[in-house]
Structure 1
Amino acid sequence: MEIRSIEDMNQAQRERLAFIEFRLWFLGDVGRPDLMDRFGIAPAVATRDLAAYREVAPQNIDFDGSRKVYVPAAGFKAIFEHETDRVLSALSRGFGEGLGKSSSGFLPCEFPLRLNQPPLAALATITRAIHQRRAVRLVYHSLNTGVSKREVVPFALVDSGLRWHVRVFDRKSQEFRDMVITRMERPVMLDDGDIAAHEQLDQDIQWTRIVELELVPHPAQPRPEIVARDFGMKGGRLVLNVRAAIAGYVLQQWSVDCSPDHSLEPTRYRLRLKDSLVLYGVENSVLAPGYQAPSKIKS
């Protein structure tokens, strides 16, 4: 049967054609060996995939006979959706779902070091519990209360930008909170017992509440138009809708001045939170640089 559109293909072939387009667009060439190495397919299958891409997107691909590779055509226009985060991850780290040695990525790239990688054994227990909706018994090392035995109901992973947390219902404190994975010791998934109604994620007010953060260039920035360009602002503003449970992490990670008089050092804080009152009632607002609760602001 003649292929007329990507909808006529199975999922595996669509992924291979998306990879062809990825190579054309971001690396400027693709050949049979690239497909064979990436997907472990036979030369004949790679040839058919290249022919199929030429059929569905003839305006996108030309053949460079001198190099014997396919290259992007002058009229190239992507037919697949390529998310920016995934493109950058692939370019810098490669495609990491396979077995064997890890990919070094397609281009040279350096990253800030993440110094506290969660141990995989603990992570696997937590992620299984999230997926299967189970409680977990563990020993937790807290900065405030020290070492204690806990029973928690985990719901979601949270990346603060510096470390990985888990959003849980803590049965000891009877509260929803974040726990750091590296502080969890000997987690064991419980097989018995249902999750009570008050332990469900829809009862977590900080998780279900959406906070609108309007960010603008810091007023002391000498070139606010450059800041606006760096952060993709429109009309000099960037609006983020985030869960209250992660608002403090976002503002901390991006060094946003949340002080009432935007008085933090502009060489460190390029952005300002336009209205700090939106953080009222946000539990982790203590992480927002310079934030003061309304009751603490001097009149």
Structure 2
Amino acid sequence: MEEQDRRRWSQRQRFEFIEWKLIWEGLLNRSDLEETFGISTPQASLDLRMYREVAGENIVYDSSEKAYVPSPKVAPKFLRVSADRLLLQLRAWLTEALQREDLWFKTIPPVDMAPDITRNVNPNCLRELLGAIRARKGLQIHYQSLTNTRWRTIAPHALAFDGSRWHVRAWACDREEFRDFVISRIDEIGETCEVGYDPQDDVEWSTRATLKLRSHPRLGEAQKRAIDRDYAMTSGYREIEVRLSMVYYFIRRMNLDLVDLPPERVQLWVENLSEIEEAVQAAKDESKARVAERRHRSVLTQSRSK
């Protein structure tokens, strides 16, 4: 049964590949299946025949091209057509996060991107952080911020990417609050230790809010229409769900906090910014209240046990 399921999955992947070639390259040869999946000519022919049995309306043989091409009304049944996914794969290939063989293009189109300066993350540091997250342990780190460099004890419980840097979300034992620490600024890892904390107390992390975005109000009508199209807005708005702990990074990355910039530079506007800011502060207050309550219960338990 397991072997049969594996064969079905492999064939479904090849059906997805057939539709990918039809949609994104507009051309498919039997040899494409053979070379990509390392299958025999009879197996490739069988795949094409079976695909035509279940989705023949999507594919047409073009004798002049000596290849299969998409029909005018092609509607994929196995492929989730996503421009975002395809462009993300191309970007991953440019940054060497994806290998050439993982792209289904026969010939990759000319593509490039502006240089992306990545922050250095030490793999041993990341390994220690992941271990502390799994074990629910505290960890001593030598942390270099923009104001000082010192040893700190943190209890990490999550990782977060702000668009340019990776952070570890952690309970900061010295400040007694949940904070973000830029991983690339951790230059040394010390010992693990026991820390009495609960990730559920990090209300900013566990709570999501919805940013209501619109084109900048000082833009002209034609400019607003362009922005609406860029961001696929509905009735002039685009709603973005984000963790409260990530709101600051999103707003800063999109320049939404720089009110003095020209509207053509900012382009977007957060309609419910004050509401979001209140939610962030309320989450901080709730975290403090939860921590205080947890400690109060712990003290009561200890006093009763004496």
TM-score (norm 1): 0.74
The answer on whether the counterparts of 2:93 and 2:99 sit within 8 Å (CA) in structure 1 is: no
1:147 maps to amino acid: R
Aligned partner of 2:50 in structure 1 is 52
Aligned partner of 1:297 in structure 2 is none
The yes-or-no answer on 1:225 pairing with 2:228 is no
Residue 231 of structure 1 deviates from its aligned partner by: 0.9
The yes-or-no answer on 1:86 pairing with 2:88 is no
Describe how 1:4-153 pairs up with structure 2 within 5 A. Answer: 10-79=8-77, 80-94=79-93, 106-119=108-121, 121-122=123-124, 124-125=126-127, 128-129=130-131, 132-135=134-137, 136-153=139-156
Inter-partner Cα distance in structure 2 for 1:100 and 1:83: 20
User: CA 1:41/1:224 → structure 2, altered by over 3 Å: closer, same or farther?
Assistant: same
Match of 2:270 among 267, 273, 277: 273
Structure 2 regions of 5+ residues with no counterpart?
Answer: 282-306
User: CA 1:268/1:240 → structure 2, altered by over 3 Å: closer, same or farther?
Assistant: same
Residue 37 of structure 1 deviates from its aligned partner by: 4.2
User: CA 1:183/1:25 → structure 2, altered by over 3 Å: closer, same or farther?
Assistant: same
User: CA 1:277/1:97 → structure 2, altered by over 3 Å: closer, same or farther?
Assistant: closer
Greater radius of gyration (CA)? 2
User: CA 1:51/1:183 → structure 2, altered by over 3 Å: closer, same or farther?
Assistant: farther
Inter-partner Cα distance in structure 1 for 2:158 and 2:134: 10
The answer on whether the counterparts of 2:91 and 2:113 sit within 8 Å (CA) in structure 1 is: no
Deviation string for 1:256-292 (max 9, x for gaps)?
3575xxx542121111111321222537xxxxxxxxx
Aligned partner of 2:255 in structure 1 is 255
The answer on whether the counterparts of 1:215 and 1:274 sit within 8 Å (CA) in structure 2 is: yes
Inter-partner Cα distance in structure 2 for 1:121 and 1:208: 27
Inter-partner Cα distance in structure 2 for 1:268 and 1:129: 42
Aligned partner of 2:157 in structure 1 is 154
Aligned partner of 1:293 in structure 2 is none
Residue 134 of structure 1 deviates from its aligned partner by: 4.6
TM-score (norm 2): 0.73
Structure 1 regions of 5+ residues with no counterpart?
Answer: 1-6, 284-299
Inter-partner Cα distance in structure 1 for 2:16 and 2:6: 14
Please identify, of 127-136 and 104-113, the stretch whose mean Cα deviation from structure 2 is larger: 127-136
Residue 63 of structure 1 deviates from its aligned partner by: 2.3
Inter-partner Cα distance in structure 1 for 2:11 and 2:129: 30
SS of the residue corresponding to residue 10 of structure 1 reads helix
The answer on whether the counterparts of 1:125 and 1:189 sit within 8 Å (CA) in structure 2 is: no
Residue 130 of structure 1 deviates from its aligned partner by: 7.6
SS of the residue corresponding to residue 266 of structure 2 reads coil
Looking at secondary structure, tell me which structure has more helix per residue: 2
1:246 maps to amino acid: M
User: CA 1:265/1:38 → structure 2, altered by over 3 Å: closer, same or farther?
Assistant: same
Cα RMSD of the aligned pairs, angstroms, is 3.5
User: CA 1:180/1:44 → structure 2, altered by over 3 Å: closer, same or farther?
Assistant: farther
The answer on whether the counterparts of 1:257 and 1:269 sit within 8 Å (CA) in structure 2 is: no
SS of the residue corresponding to residue 280 of structure 1 reads helix
